[in-house]
Chain A
Amino acid sequence: MSETAYVQVLDLACGALLLTAVLVLWRRELTVIIRVFAVQGMALAMVVGVLAAHQRDIELGGVAVGVMVLRAVALPWLLRRALVAAGPAQSETRPLVNVAASLLAAAVLVLLAYAVSRPLVALAPSPATHAIPVGVAVVLIGFFVLVTRRHALSQIVGFLLLDNGITAVGFLTTIGVGLVVEVGVSLDVLLAVLVLQVLTSRMRAAFGATDLDELRELHD
């Protein structure tokens, strides 16, 4: 792959990563949000795949396939299953912040991401590290989704956006952390989502809804 093609594909994939994160803020239907999330998983796998092709790293190529399976197939499938179990009445989210304000917030968060990532890019400037701010922006947007959405499943999506962003930053630094850690991290994320999914069904059994507004048993 030529250098220009590499940079273009990498930037395209990172652009898709950021765009999908913003789309999650924009749309309200959980079915659409889950589909967007799956697309983001694919974009992330593409980032890893491009890096693997550029570095001619077979192992990283394998990791890209793993990322694809976990984030574009397995996790969206789990979310969709939870959504089906929740029933049709549960498919609307009611964000605390309206769409226009959310999109403005996303713009501010992207600026913030570029501001805080300056030392990260400066350490080893390269096409890959120049995209680190995108990963950080996805982290911040994920955090924003997490704190402004009230539906349990939306919160899980927020958590997963955050995690996608962190994974993107990890790969864009182009420094591996070792296979044991990578597998361990993926397994932990998968298990955390499984636990959250079980908890949403228990929440439905206990509260009759998975709207987090219903959670008001515990306070001081």
Chain B
Amino acid sequence: MTVLTTLLMLAPLAVPLLGALTYRTAGWRPATVWVSAVSAALVLAAAIALAVTVVGHGPRTALAGSVRADALSVFMLIVIGAVGLLATAATPAWLRGEITAGRATARTAARHSVLVQCFLAAMALAVLAANLGVVWVAIEATTIVTAFLVGQRRTKAAVEAAWKYVVICSTGIALALLGVLLLNYAASHGPRPAGLDWVRLLAAAPHLDPGVTRVAVALLILGFGTKAGLAPLHAWLPDAHGEAPAPVSALMSGVLLSVAFSVILRVKVIADAALGVGFARALLAVLAVASLLLAASLLIRQRDYKRMLAYSSIEHMGLLALGAAAGGPLALAAVLLHVLGHGLAKGTLFLSAGHVLHATRTSRIDQVRWLAARGPVLAGCLGFGVLALIGLPPFSIFASEVGIVRAGFATGIGWVTALALVFVLVIAAALIGHTSRMVLGTPDPVPDGPGAATAPVRLSISGAVPLVAGLLACAVLGVAAGPLATLLHLAAHTLTGTP
């Protein structure tokens, strides 16, 4: 039993690393094309098996307590596995298109796959590590691994995006390191020296020195907030997500942001126990409103559809921050459901955008028209994906947004929630406007002839299946969370400090 659990906990780390090794040695060839997707599927399977164990028997630890799986880490593993499967399953079709277009070779494809596998392993470590210091190392490792994925194309724009990404994220995360060190300092001077272990930190939290803890928590939330794309340190996000290859954008936007956010959720538990709920709530509410305001103001006149999706990620991270600020089991369950729903919807949308980019060779909204007639399947995925994103039922984002807003009004941050709702409506209108023009708008009579703007957009079976599956999963999740509901509530209780 324990051996099996240990294996299940190590699989999300070991399997992607083995996958990376496979690509490193064997390269990109017909036999290895699906290794990436198989590896992500195994991560998902291990996460689900682990979820059953954790729901049945409570949190598990392995490797002398250095790796720990509780309801939250298992849930985040499921998100990593699910969105990872979505993105890696779509990668072969995407890379085939890139190679045909001459923008990639078998060598760059192999390197892409090695980095993506390392990326998955680093994210798995970030959610499984029992020590806040190791979590920090893992989160910074994701920056390093993804830097070359963002700059993969080596165009001016891609290099600039990669530079901004590494500089801003490393700086932000360095602030978090200062927070980690100060929290460690505070923890070692309590009645029970705790170190950086999550569980022991939480147990020692009520006795932490409030002055030091306040500085540490502010730095941690700001630092990991940078990596989660929360304003004011969001400047890297639209560039990196806009320039990265489609499957990487899907992973970064769909999972990496929320992995960083899950660390903030854990920090908040400690902050609430040490400083009362007010401090972290005020900080998160300010970040939430700033992120939503920024996303709304830059989405209205957005001209690039990949950047449009990136700004929408900032919006959703803002909503997560709002839910976290509200606190309480119901709000946090909604936040976690939102993480999974957003991951699936945004993953699908970035992959669809990648196909649109292949077909039209432009990422400008005003140069893509009439998709519904040129490629009904792709247009459908894009259209329904955006409907899912703005929170229309039956997709799960509807349920989670309702949950977050209700919790916001119930916990005394009503005016913040009301303000957030206004921004969400503005953003929804902007997204609908831009997308409907892309999908249904008739092409302008452009100089390079009607041929370019009305050419059919074909989507291969292997390209279409992940997109449709992602949207279906998001819809099913919205109708019935099923067994996931138990896990969600367990995770939410972990996050309110009431196990």
Contacts and interface: CB of A to CB of B under 8 A. Distances in A.
A152 interface: yes
A119 B151 contact: no
A87 to B, nearest CB: 18
Nearest to A201: B159
B225 to A, nearest CB: 16
B133 A180 contact: yes
B167 A120 contact: no
Interface in B324-361: none
Contacts of B298: 220
B181 A192 contact: no
Contacts of B160: 203, 215, 217-218
Interface in B367-416: none
A202 B211 contact: no
A166 to B, nearest CB: 5
A163 B185 contact: no
Nearest to A165: B178
Contact of A120 (B133, B161, B182): B182
Contact of B162 (A119, A180, A185, A199): A199
Given A163-B174, A181-B196, A202-B159, A196 B167 contact: yes
Contact of B184 (A143, A173, A198): A173
Contacts of B171: 143, 146, 159, 162
Interface string A132-167: 000000010001001000001001000100110010
Contact of B177 (A166, A198, A218): A166
Given A119-B209, A181-B131, A188-B141, A199 B182 contact: no
Interface in B146-172: 147-148, 151, 154-157, 159-164, 166-167, 170-171
Contacts of A124: 185, 189
A169 B182 CA distance: 8
Contact of A170 (B144, B157, B181, B238): B181
A185 B163 contact: no
A94 B319 CA distance: 40
Contacts of A191: 141, 144
Nearest to B66: A180
A169 B181 contact: yes
Contacts of B148: 195, 198
Nearest to A191: B144
B212 A119 contact: yes
Contact of A123 (B141, B157, B212, B302): B212
A88 B215 CA distance: 43
Nearest to A120: B212
Contacts of A173: 181-182, 184-185, 188
Contacts of B164: 215, 218
A169 B178 contact: yes
A177 B174 contact: no
Contacts of B189: 123-124
A218 B215 contact: no
B238 A119 contact: no
B215 A203 contact: no
Contacts of B157: 217-218
B131 A162 contact: no
Interface in B190-230: 195-196, 209, 211-212, 214-215
Nearest to A187: B137
B154 A177 contact: no
A166 B133 contact: no
Contact of A206 (B155, B174, B209, B215): B155
Contacts of A220: 238, 298, 302, 307
Given A177-B184, A199-B151, A202-B154, A192 B137 contact: no
B119 interface: no
Contacts of B184: 173, 175, 177
Given A178-B133, A195-B144, A203 B188 contact: no
Nearest to B196: A177
A189 B293 CA distance: 33
Contact of A188 (B140, B211, B215): B140
A116 interface: yes
A66 B341 CA distance: 45
A178 B181 contact: no
A116 B216 CA distance: 11
Interface string A23-53: 0000000000000000000000000000000
Contacts of B117: none
A205 B178 CA distance: 35
B88 interface: no
A195 to B, nearest CB: 5
Given A175-B184, A184-B136, 20 more contacts: A139-B178, A146-B171, A162-B174, A177-B181, A177-B184, A180-B133, A180-B134, A181-B131, A181-B134, A185-B136, A185-B177, A188-B141, A192-B144, A195-B144, A199-B162, A203-B159, A205-B154, A215-B164, A218-B238, A220-B302
16 contacts: A116-B215, A118-B211, A120-B185, A124-B189, A146-B171, A159-B174, A170-B181, A180-B131, A184-B133, A185-B177, A199-B151, A199-B162, A206-B155, A206-B159, A217-B160, A218-B239
